[in-house]
Amino acid sequence: MNIDDWRRKIDAIDTALLQLLNLRAGLALEVGKLKNQGGVALRSPRREKAILSRMKSLNRGPLDDQAVEEIYQEILDQSRRAQKLRNGGKSERRRRTGDARQAASAREGQWKRSR
């Protein structure tokens, strides 16, 4: 095989990887939607650690474990970024906390004016 043959194989794998990454991101958006509805934080360090550990345990090279961890950490970061973008940049929990703070501030202002 010549270099062009190898590059065609790489291009085909890149296309498949992109499709799989977008499929994964779509699933992560659904998880994010459920977390948002339940007021659960988007980031789950325990889950992230389990994913990274699992991927490294499955790794047979030639990428080393550090490379696998860095790649998957980026995938996790971008999944969370997509979840935040879909939700206008904040989680439901943050939105509710902000609403509660605004309400408390308004009550405090009313209390001060009534004195």
- CA-CA distance, 57 to 88, in Å (whole number)? 36
Does residue 98 have a pLDDT over 70? no
* Predicted confidence band of residue 113 (pLDDT cuts 50, 70, 90): low
- CA-CA distance, 36 to 67, in Å (whole number)? 31
CATH architecture of 3-114: Up-down Bundle (1.20)
| 4 half-sphere exposure, CB direction, 13 A CA radius | 0
Mean pLDDT value of segment 96-105: 57
Q: Model's pTM, two decimal places?
A: 0.74
Q: What is the pLDDT of residues 45-91, one digit of tens each?
A: 999 999 999 999 999 999 999 999 999 999 999 999 999 999 876 65
Show me where the domains of the chain are located. 3-114
Q: At 94, is the secondary structure helix, strand, or coil?
A: helix
Does residue 99 have a pLDDT over 90? no
- CA-CA distance, 64 to 45, in Å (whole number)? 22
